[in-house]
Amino acid sequence: MARNIGADGRTVYRAVIVKTYADGRTYTAHEGPYTEPGPARARVTFWVNRMTAYGDGRSATGHVEQAHTVWAPVGEQVDPLAAARAQAYRGAADALDASETLRDLTDDHMSDVHAAANELRRLADEIHLATTTAEESDQ
């Protein structure tokens, strides 16, 4: 199934489902990627319920895995840590913006804090450009 997965520099999730058939055979399936963990969890639940519903000894278990994406054109060298570094900068910027401790600073100082957060985001985009979905850009 095709989906629009930009997710550059962000965490993606997949469902790992281990199906056990009545004769004891097992099969591991991977579904995703998803941009949120919820849909991956839902797929695990779906398969657990579906396999149990057969009532003939079939079962399924599963878990959700996460990864940080580094998309690049085929043939280009990819820095596997670029997404993680960029995400660390973005996380630090978000922490600065959300800090309750910093809210007590004067307006002049708060503008400096927000400027620092924006600089961290700029540096993150230099390392690994973030893309936004249509929903994110509407917010």
Tokens of 19: 């199906």
Kindly give the confidence (pLDDT) of every residue in the chain, 139 residues in length, as a single tens digit, with 9 standing for 90 and above.
Answer: 556 666 666 788 999 999 999 999 999 999 999 989 999 999 999 999 999 999 999 999 999 999 877 777 788 877 777 777 877 888 888 888 887 777 777 777 778 888 888 888 888 877 766 544 334 444 4
pTM above 0.95, yes or no: no
Nearest to 120 by CA among 89, 82, 99, 94: 89
